[in-house]
Structure 1
Amino acid sequence: MKYAILGAGGMGLHFGILLQEVGYDVDYIDTWKPQVETIRKQHGVYVSRRGQGRHLVNIDNIYYPEEYHGKPDVVIPFTKQIGLAEMLERCQHFFNDDQYALTLMNGMGHIEKIDKYFPKEHVIGGTALIGSILTKPGEVDFVAAKGTGSCNLANQSETIDDTTKEIAKELTESGLNATIHENFMGTLLAKVIFNSVLNSLATSFQCSYGEFIASPSAKPLGVDLVNEAFDVFERAGIKLLSTREEEWQTIYHVAHDVNPEHYPSMYQDLVTNRPTEVEYINGYIYRLGLKYGYIAHSHKFAINLVHIAEKLHAVRGK
């Protein structure tokens, strides 16, 4: 199938490059001028893995939204939550009812925006346990060992159709190890819980996953956040994919064994003075809890920690 990546940042490039390396047709659409112009100038992106093996991957098909008139079978938005509405509006001229939208974005709030442009039965929600860092325009580092990433997919209709199976097959062939689930919200929220622990706390303390998880305090802090999230989602009547203990074990495994050197995307936003997505992650859990009369104190505390880190970084200019 033909893919269009909306947002050629770290994750967009990671997915797109792995797909094109095994022969799939991928176009890239971005709104950030330094990224678009750098990739055009050097006819590609310099890719490293864990800082090693830097090499140029050819990309000649990157466009600003208004320039693009391709006919992709699958659209994959990989913007930040705060920029998604603008990206979709600027790209709507090439959307059609036959296309599928696959979203693997962090946090919550994106599904409602995507539903405005695509039939719900063609919307696939998902999560990606894969790390990438855009080190500068035109350069990306895949921070995990090759083949260790994975993603989970679920149709919004919770009916697994042939196109979803084909997308999962092509992602797996590309080394992205896709698994299909029938529980749409449970699939999305598994990553929300994951990010509410690792992204928020590692960003607050400005450390890598491995540095955070090595602390004896990591488990009590993380388990509190996991338990509160499960309390909220149980009150909302949402069935999750894992148990509380399984969720914590996933967090520990990724931080300790898979991506210990990784700094989360939220931290990358912090150090580049972009708004973080904490309100779309911990904030989503906290606000949903309030809806059901439950106060997720630990998530509110994590939100405040991230906002303090944002403020200090802006003031200090570091």
Structure 2
Amino acid sequence: MRIAVLGAGAMGSLFGGLLAQAGEDVTLVDVWEDHIKAIKEHGLTMICDGVEENVKINAETSPAQVGPVDLVIFLVKGTHTEQAIKNATPMIQPDTRVLTLQNGLGNAEKIADVVGEDKVLFGVIDFASVLLGPGRISSELAKRTIHFKPLNNIVDDKVKQVEQVFRNARINAEISLEVERDIWRKLVINCNLNALCTVCRIRTGTLLDQGEITQSLFKDITKEIVTVAGAKGINLDFEECMDFLNDLSSKVRGHYPSMTQDLMKKRKTEIEFINGAVVREGKKHGVATPVNETLYHLITILHNTYSDQF
């Protein structure tokens, strides 16, 4: 299968590297020229489960340099989705599928507006990767699980082929028609850890060390998400979400969440697609989300005022 990974950050590079190791024809596509240059000249260095490997893989800065592919794995920041999918059209042919594994809500629909619903797959990643520098990444969690499904709910041979390609690359992929539940469950992680660590500008472990203060915030944020999801017909168990949140948090204590990293680099964050999405869905269904809304407004102010911050 000919595959392009659009958005070759930490996760995109990991997916591309694993797929290339499995023998797939993969090209990483990213606008970060230093990263692409390093991969072209020296290959992609991956540290997976403590083992360092170097993978030879194609890399380009523009979709126009790639040509038509069978699968586009879409991992750009949500803030760039609309422009990125328009730029990606040279890679998309009638039978191409576009799989978005981005954080938050609403990206699949934006992609479908450009390429059509029948081409779009969407899902959720249950593991993490860290970008160490140009051409170097590290995989933090060994579980390597993704759940995904077609936006139109039609599981054809092409969708099954995508699932098998991932499995051949040591990625535990599963087609799941209930993937929305998994996405909202991950939204619990992002709305809590991304938002709180970003407002406080701290690592996950430092946030956890605040004890009951943090747990109180976790509960308030999570209750709102569970209530909004329920109003949409998505059944989340509050206690299970809290256990999942605390368990994952304890495993990534040294981690700055991606939104926090964006703030540190004075880049626009994905708050619109995370806490902001919960606020919008809450308003649609008549559910108040005051804690998520407060975090949404605070982080929006932060990335709107970089030039005035000390």
Same fold (TM over 0.5): yes
Tell whether 2:155 aligns with 1:157. no
Equivalent residue of 1:99, what SS?
A: strand
Match of 1:244 among 238, 243, 248: 238
Q: Matches of 1:158 and 1:187 in 2, distance apart?
A: 16
Tell whether 2:253 aligns with 1:260. yes
Q: Matches of 2:305 and 2:126 in 1, distance apart?
A: 29
**Alignment CA distance shift 1:295-1:141 (3 Å):** same
Tell whether 2:23 aligns with 1:28. no
Tell whether 2:196 aligns with 1:201. yes
CA contact (8 A) 2:276 2:296 kept: yes
Match of 1:274 among 243, 267, 279: 267
**Alignment CA distance shift 1:165-1:261 (3 Å):** farther
Aligned-residue offset at 1:15: 0.9
Q: Matches of 1:238 and 1:214 in 2, distance apart?
A: 35
Instruction: Write the letter of the residue equivalent to 1:261.
Output: G
Query: Structure 2-normalised TM-score?
Result: 0.89
Instruction: Write the letter of the residue equivalent to 1:105.
Output: Q
Tell whether 2:102 aligns with 1:142. no
Equivalent residue of 2:98, what SS?
A: strand
Q: Matches of 2:152 and 2:87 in 1, distance apart?
A: 26
Corresponding residue of 1:17? 17
Match of 1:306 among 287, 292, 299: 299
CA contact (8 A) 2:27 2:66 kept: no
Aligned-residue offset at 1:80: 0.5
- The answer to which of 199-208 and 53-62 deviates more is 53-62
**Alignment CA distance shift 1:173-1:60 (3 Å):** closer
- The answer to which of 211-220 and 223-232 deviates more is 211-220
Identical amino acids, percent of aligned pairs: 27
**Alignment CA distance shift 1:218-1:152 (3 Å):** farther
Q: Matches of 1:286 and 1:299 in 2, distance apart?
A: 7
Instruction: Write the letter of the residue equivalent to 1:48.
Output: I
Aligned-residue offset at 1:65: 1.9
Match of 2:109 among 112, 125, 134: 112
Aligned-residue offset at 1:168: 2.3
Query: Structure 1-normalised TM-score?
Result: 0.87
Name stretches of at least 5 consecutive residues in structure 2 with no aligned partner. Answer: none
CA contact (8 A) 2:11 2:75 kept: yes
Name stretches of at least 5 consecutive residues in structure 1 with no aligned partner. Answer: none
Which digits, 9 at most, give the CA deviation of each residue in 1:229-270, with x for residues without a partner? Answer: 1212222x3324x4222222222221113x333221111211
Aligned-residue RMSD, C-alpha: 2.5
